[in-house]
Amino acid sequence: MPAWFDHLLFLILVVLFPVRAAYSGMRRLRRAAPAELPRVRLAVYREAMAIQWLLLAAMVAIWLATGRAFEAVGVAWRPSIGFGVMALIAAVAIGVTLHQRRRALADDQTLMDVRGKMQHLEVMLPHAPRELNTFYRLSVTAGICEEALYRGYVIWYLSAWMPQVAAAAAASVIFGFGHAYQGPRGVITTGVFGAVLAAVYLISGSLWIPIVLHALIDLHSGHLAFHAFRRGAELDRQRFEREAEGRDAVAPPAVESAPDPAPAAAGAPADAAHAAAAFVPEGGPAAAGPDYDVAIVGLGAMGGAAAYQLAARGVRVVGFDRWRPPHEHGSSHGETRLIREAYFEDPFYVPIVQRAYELWSALEAEAGAPLLRLTGGLMIGGADSALVQGAERSASVHALPYERLDAADVHARYRAFTPADHTVAIWEPRTGMLFPEACVRAHLNGAARRGAKLRFGEGVLAWHADGDGVEIETASGRVRAAKLILAAGAWMPALLGPAGLPLRISRQTLHWFEPASAPERFDPERCPAWIYEHAPGIYSYGFPRLNGMVKAAMHVPGETIAPDDPAREPTAEEAAALIGALGQYAPDAAGRRVKSAACMYANTPDMHFAIDRHPAHAQVIVMSACSGHGFKFASALGEAAADLAMERAPRFDLTPFRIGRFAAGEAGAPVR
Q: Note the pLDDT of residue 546.
A: 93
Helix (H, G, I), strand (E, B) or coil at 595: strand
426, 255, 430, 229: which is closest to 338 by C-alpha? 430
Q: What radius of gyration do the chain's Cα atoms show?
A: 30
Cβ contact 263:346 at 8 Å: no
Give the lowest-confidence range in 388-402, 631-645, 647-661.
Answer: 647-661
Nearest to 220 by CA among 198, 193, 200: 193
Residue 269 above 60 pLDDT? Answer: no
**Catalytic annotation, pick one of 555, 614, 629, 658:** 555
Q: What is the pLDDT of residues 520-544, one digit of tens each?
A: 999 999 999 999 999 998 999 999 9
Q: For residues 113 and 119, what is the distance between their CA atoms, to the nearest angstrom?
A: 10
pLDDT, tens digit (0-9, with 9 covering 90-100), for 63-91: 999 999 988 888 877 677 878 888 888 88
- State the average pLDDT over residues 240-265: 39
99 band by pLDDT with thresholds 50, 70 and 90: confident
pLDDT grade for 34, boundaries at 50, 70 and 90: low
The CA–CA distances, whole Å, from 453 to 198, 315, 333, 480, 640 equal 44, 11, 22, 13, 20
> If DSSP states are collapsed to H, E and C, what string results for 268-325?
CCCCCCCCCCCECCCCCCCCCCCCEEEEEECCCHHHHHHHHHHHHCCCCEEEEECCCC
Q: Mean of the per-residue pLDDT values for the chain?
A: 84
- 26 pLDDT above the threshold of 80: no
Decide: 588 and 521 in contact? Cβ < 8 Å: yes
Report d(CA 305, CA 372) in Å as an integer.
Answer: 16
Residue 260 — very low, low, confident or very high, per pLDDT cuts 50/70/90? very low
Q: Is the pLDDT of residue 257 over 70?
A: no
Reply yes or no on whether the pLDDT at 268 is more than 60. no
Q: Which of 337, 455, 507, 617 is catalytic?
A: 337
Report the percentage of the chain scoring pLDDT > 90.
Answer: 51
555 is catalytic: yes
Helical spans, DSSP H, in 617-667: 634-645, 660-663
Instruction: Say whether 551 is catalytic.
Output: yes
Give me the residue spans of the domains in the chain.
4-236, 255-330+437-503+608-663, 337-434+504-603
- Does 127 have pLDDT greater than 90? no
Q: Is the peptide bond before 129 cis (omega within 30 degrees of 0)?
A: no
Q: Which pLDDT belongs to residue 521?
A: 95
Of the candidates 623, 615, 619, the residue with the CA atom closest to the CA atom of residue 657 = 623
User: pLDDT of 570-586, one tens digit each?
Assistant: 889 999 999 999 999 99
pLDDT at 49 over 80: yes
Name the residue with higher pLDDT: 177 or 373: 373
Q: What is the pLDDT of residue 383?
A: 95
Nearest to 53 by CA among 124, 149, 135: 149
pLDDT > 50? residue 272: no
Summarize pLDDT for 279-321 with one digit per residue, the tens. Answer: 444 334 444 568 899 999 999 999 999 999 999 998 999 999 9
| 452 torsion bin: left (phi>0), alpha (psi -120 to 50), beta (else) | beta
Q: Which of 551, 608, 629, 658 is catalytic?
A: 551
Of 94-103, 193-202, 330-339, 572-581, the one with minimum mean pLDDT is: 94-103
Q: Quick check: 469 and 391 in contact, CB under 8 A?
A: no
pLDDT of residue 583: 95
Query: How many alpha carbons fall within 13 Å on the CB side of residue 445?
Result: 27
Of 231, 333, 340, 355, which one is the catalytic site residue? 333
Predicted local confidence at residue 239, as pLDDT? 58
- Looking at residue 4, its pLDDT comes to 87
Query: Considering 340, 599, 604, 614, which one is annotated as catalytic?
Result: 599
Q: Are 349 and 318 in contact (CB under 8 A)?
A: no
Which range (346-350, 374-378, 631-635, 650-654) has the least confidence? 650-654
Structure confidence by residue, pLDDT tens digits, 116-125 = 777 667 778 8
Residue 336: active-site member: yes
pLDDT number for residue 265 = 29
pLDDT for the residue 395: 95
With DSSP H G I counted as helix, E B as strand and the rest as coil, what are the percentages for the chain, rounded to 5?
50, 15, 35
Query: What is the pLDDT confidence band of residue 106, given thresholds at 50, 70 and 90?
Result: confident
CATH of domain 337-434+504-603: 3.30.9.10
pLDDT for 672 beyond 70: no
CATH of domain 255-330+437-503+608-663: 3.50.50.60
Which residues are within 8 A (CB) of 183 and not within 5 positions of it... i.e. 6 or more apart?
Answer: 120
Catalytic residue selected from 134, 141, 190, 336 = 336
Residue 335 has pLDDT above 80, yes or no: yes
